[in-house]
Structure 1
């Protein structure tokens, strides 16, 4: 017969004691011999409610009751269920202490020892005058976990599923392979035993905790391991994923330029981007330690908390389930830097932007396949005009290395590919930090926001070479001088010709260029060729002689007869052939005024002005109104 220090003890456990498996563990260790265990119906009701919601802790507690029932049948203990079953409202208010109050009442009625694993419950029970036994696991006595058997030094994650052989991601950050680590498939009992042990450890270990608990899903953090447990109906079968860090790099181990180090230490808005498993969090941890060593106050916002940082850096989780509340507290703490791990949802980007605009140095970790993709995730979530104030640096991590760094600047300019000065607009310019080369532009075009690659980033299709040749052949039938053609999209081409060839290609009223567009099936923008380039390029031949004085040679002068329309407010001269050009307007041979033709090919003159009277008077006496290039 076994002997124990608690023979004949009358016990009333609370819910935490049942979930933690304290009772069965003590019985197996030879304690609580012949103990009377009275489980309140309130405990059973709470466990049932949790299990019905798919919470792992509820299922684990019911497994413990089943185990105690077996021990009672074997004569090791006396077990019964006592008290009244709580009402629906009492179960709903369990978090407010209603269930715990019922359990304590059962202990008072039976004059029993109240057993709990919760410190707060033990203090309340003592205040009520109860005999309390607080049983918590000794951290120094924690042994290896069942899941530890699957890990080896080069394994970063283990994937267990019922009826499937154990799988693992093995290798280094730059070379990861998904491999089978055992031929025999996992059984339900095996995975359930691993799950129960992990749940117990998360509750009893002070360095471990529950991150998330949903219907069918739980996320735990046990020391440096992040565990996700999935159950039906959330998943098709029980599954456990355990992830642990295998790489721990110092900031000095990364090959970083002095320019980048200076930007990181200047309280900026920085995004650390990269695909899953690329080493983003490892780099973020290194940055946190680096900034802490520089004397900055560094905090983290994480859900779940899995950054590997020293104790000096406090890691904050969602406060009351919301990171917005965490941000409110952090603004009162006044950190110099906040590392925001997993900026993913719209609310995450809004919190990031709010804290950055409040003056906090922010470093966010974002999933993205390219550096520019991380920036695009801000669009629609943060006002376009303030993006460079929220994020001015993007660090792209690939295979554990800093592969690219882009910087953002705000300017007003004509976007690349556009030539008309009146198209200037606010533009976010994205450049490479090391080379200074511009790579992307972000701007509004109509109601859309465009992210346009420029320079070497612009994508050019092989089919455009053939299309440019076809366009050049057709335009050459109308132009006597050189022709330059550049495809800007599948359906648009930019054509540059000499100034004197413009009228021939555009034609009266734009009819000629319209016919050309119908032949080619694309839209054509016609511009004057860069004369300075043509003089330097031998392919263009010798430049044409021009008068040294004002105007052109008589043989070069070309007049255009405008279409004249009159509205209530304006007299409109239509010359689409000369769109955006500076011109002179004549009545016969008499000069009237100079003007700039709009990009729509119009010259608008206010009705009632002296110029309007002159033009109308010339028309009345039969003088032709002509427009001539200035």
Structure 2
């Protein structure tokens, strides 16, 4: 009797099983090389099925040595193309051909393979597949207590967990015995199979080395080599179920949600309780007769059955958004908004008239708004997001109103500097805390003082000081110091030789700078600076005096490279140092050399335009350590 087993029968150990019960005693077992190649590929991918199949082949070799069967390998190993097409039946076809050529019975646990072989007139021995690693309950559930938010398991390490309340989480060892590799693999297989076979679970993502499972209220990430350096299981579950009334500002927030469709960002650090709050908002909106849907990857919000939870359609949330616009929800809960594509989808749905509630990781409330900057048009931000809720330790810590006003930014005085300003106001106090606007072609976020105004030391003061220094350095060759005297006054100290070039003919140049920045500037020499005691020259004077000579000696000529997004200045030294970049004898800007030994300037910025213009004119570009 000749028998040809396919990959499924070898993996399930059905060949040796049939030998043991006497069915195949004395038979000739013909193993196609295609089966060996498929098992090897699975083992290399870290899949248990590959290792189990190879173990079965070793058992068959032992049985052949004992004279219980004849074992032979036939055919050729399939190429990479056929291996890649295994899911399309290429390997199965090779195995069927081998059975036909050797007038053998095809042994399989694959029902499709069995039916195709019968249709081709082959003798078939079909056995039900072995159900492997099936459990009825989550095998790691014993690690969870009422206060456990997450369990962290990894091969050859002691199990750990995060336990406590939202405000007082502890990361602690929960078992003194390290978990072995065999146990971890068993748990990993059982968790994935349980999610696939149970009505209470599903596999959200399955890729080489990583499975993300949702089972009941547990979200479980299972990582295996080669993706990770060992089998790792991370299981997370919510430890609190809340309603909107449990939070501060509940009445006010209810009114805001009900009076019009809102654009809301729920922000906070990981584990702060953002998703718990989002669930409470979703349930409130649903109870208020709004059609509510969610967009999640993975889908782990604990909401009622009336709220449909959508994943990423075809792997893209943009596709999900297109589908949702046909469903026409009143509100959509987007968990989580992280990448540029997510912010763009959030913005598109908001502009289409859908109320949007997005969950965003941020260490401060204002940071969630700043993540929109550069991803959407600045002027559109208040139309996309009008409310920011910051969660800390499970509580509503801060609520911001976001709106646009055409005004002169706080800290500036000239009326012709009026522009659209995004004003971020504390909902509780009614006091503006931040302004976001374009200043000298750059988007800036300015924190306001206790009185709601930008101060000379923070916010607009820092930005104004930086811009004044940049403007003056563009015409001064020596060291420049800037001191703000208030929100609209500054004193600039320069070398005596630079006074004329800074002020300009008839005061025209300094007047032009004052008008552009909206700040009155008094130009003085370093000798006039309080506390100088009449020193003859500053430490950062021109070449030949003080540190200026050192800077000249360390001058480095560079060759900038222009890419699609940046102008890159490669450096041989000065990593982490602040340097001045010059074109010819003119100062361009000051920057810090990055870890990669280069300075990058975003194309399209004013600085980049000046630098590119200098490169086009074939000017000598040099870098020296910053002085002063």
Q: Within 5 Å, which residues of 2 pair with 1:97-246?
A: 97-99=89-91, 112=106, 114-116=108-110, 142-246=135-239
- Residue 330 of structure 1: aligned partner: 324
Q: Write out per-residue CA displacement over residues 165-215 of structure 1, whole angstroms, 9 at most, x where no aligned residue.
A: 111111121211000112222222222222232233344335433333445
- CA drift of 1:327 comes to 2.0
Deviation by residue 1:372-396 (Cα, 9 ceiling, x = unmatched): 1000011111111111111111111
Match of 1:313 in 2: 307
Which runs of 5 or more residues in structure 2 are unaligned?
462-480, 490-502, 512-520, 532-628
Call closer, same or farther: CA 1:381–1:462 in 2, change over 3 Å: closer
Inter-CA distance 116–223: structure 2 relative to 1 (3 Å threshold): farther
Give, in angstroms, the shift of residue 110 of structure 1. 5.2
User: 1:448-505: CA deviations, max 9, x gaps?
Assistant: 11001113398999999xx9xxxxxxxxxxxxxxxxxxxxx984222899xxxxxxxx
Corresponding residue to 1:519 among 522, 528, 538: 528
Going from structure 1 to structure 2, the CA distance change for 1:378 and 1:180 (only over 3 Å counts) comes to same
Match of residue 446, structure 1, among 440, 450, 460 = 440
- Asked if structure 2 preserves the Cα contact closer than 8 Å seen for 1:394 and 1:407, the reply is yes
- Closer, same or farther in 2 for the Cα pair 1:197/1:373, shift >3 Å? same
Match in the other structure for 1:63 = 51
d(CA) in 2 for partners of 1:282, 1:81: 58
Deviation at 1:27, TM superposition (A): 10
Residue 428 of structure 1 aligns with which residue? 422
Distance 1:62 1:143 in 2: 25
User: Are the counterparts in 2 of residues 159 and 241 from structure 1 also a CA contact under 8 Å?
Assistant: yes
The verdict on how the C-alpha distance between 1:81 and 1:395 changes in structure 2, with shifts beyond 3 A counting, is farther
- Check the 8 A contact 2:296/2:335 in 1, yes or no: yes
CA shift in 2, pair 1:462/1:416, >3 Å: closer
* Contact 1:126/1:132 (8 A) holds in 2: no
1:11–1:115 Cα contact (<8 Å) kept: no
Is 1:167–1:178's contact at 8 Å kept on the other side of the alignment?
A: yes
Pairwise CA RMSD: 4.4
Question: How far has the Cα of 1:428 moved from its partner?
Answer: 0.6
TM-superposed CA distance for 1:435, in Å, is 2.5
Separation (CA, whole Å) in 2 of partners of 1:105 and 1:231: 35
Deviation at 1:101, TM superposition (A): 5.3
1:267–1:337: 8 Å Cα contact kept in structure 2?
A: yes
Residue 449 to residue 496, structure 1, CA distance change in 2 (3 Å):
closer
From 81, 89, 95, give the equivalent of 2:81: 89
1:275–1:496 distance in 2 versus 1, CA, 3 Å: closer
CA distance in 2, matches of 1:189, 1:205: 24
Candidates 391, 396, 419, aligned match of 1:397: 391
Return the TM-score normalized by structure 1: 0.63
Identify if the C-alpha distance between structure 1 residues 197 and 371 changes in structure 2 by more than 3 Å, giving closer, same or farther.
same
Task: Give CA-to-partner distance per residue, 1:478-537, whole Å, 9 cap, x none.
Answer: xxxxxxxxxxx984222899xxxxxxxx9x969994238873489xxxxxxxxxxxxxxx
Counterpart contact for 1:12–1:106, Cα < 8 Å: no
Q: Give me the whole-angstrom Cα distance separating, in 2, the residues matched to 1:43 and 1:215.
A: 20
SS in 1 for 2:158: strand
Structure-1 separation of matches of 2:427 and 2:414: 29
Partner of 1:372: helix, strand, or coil? helix
Q: Does the Cα contact within 8 Å between 1:438 and 1:455 map onto a contact in 2?
A: no
Q: Is contact 1:12–1:115 with CA below 8 Å preserved after alignment?
A: no
2:450 is paired with a residue whose SS is: helix
TM-score (structure 2 length as normaliser):
0.64
In structure 1, which of residues 328, 352, 362 is the aligned counterpart of residue 356 of structure 2? 362
Do 1:137 and 1:205's aligned partners in 2 also have CA atoms closer than 8 Å? no
What pairs up with 1:286-301 in 2 under 5 angstroms?
Answer: 286-301=280-295
In the TM superposition, what is the alpha-carbon distance from 1:419 to its structure 2 partner? 0.8
Whether 1:492 and 2:492 are equivalent positions in the alignment is no
Moved more, 278-287 or 232-241: 232-241
Report SS of the residue matched to 1:382. coil
In structure 1, distance between residues paired with 2:220 and 2:22: 37
Which of residues 366, 369, 378 in structure 2 aligns to 1:372? Answer: 366
Q: Deviations over 1:59-80 (max 9, x none)?
A: 22113324545776898x9999
Q: Structure 2: how far apart are the matches of 1:420 and 1:216? A: 60
**Counterpart-to-counterpart distance in 2, 1:207 and 1:42:** 38
Whether the 8 Å CA contact 2:42–2:50 is kept in 1: the answer is no
Query: Helix, strand or coil for the counterpart of 1:404?
Result: strand
Unaligned stretches of 5+ residues in structure 1 = 1-7, 468-488, 498-505, 523-630
1:598-609 map, 5 Å: none
Distance 1:260 1:298 in 2: 17
Distance in 2, matches of 1:106 and 1:296, equals 62
In the TM superposition, what is the alpha-carbon distance from 1:249 to its structure 2 partner? 1.9
2:151 aligned counterpart, secondary structure: strand
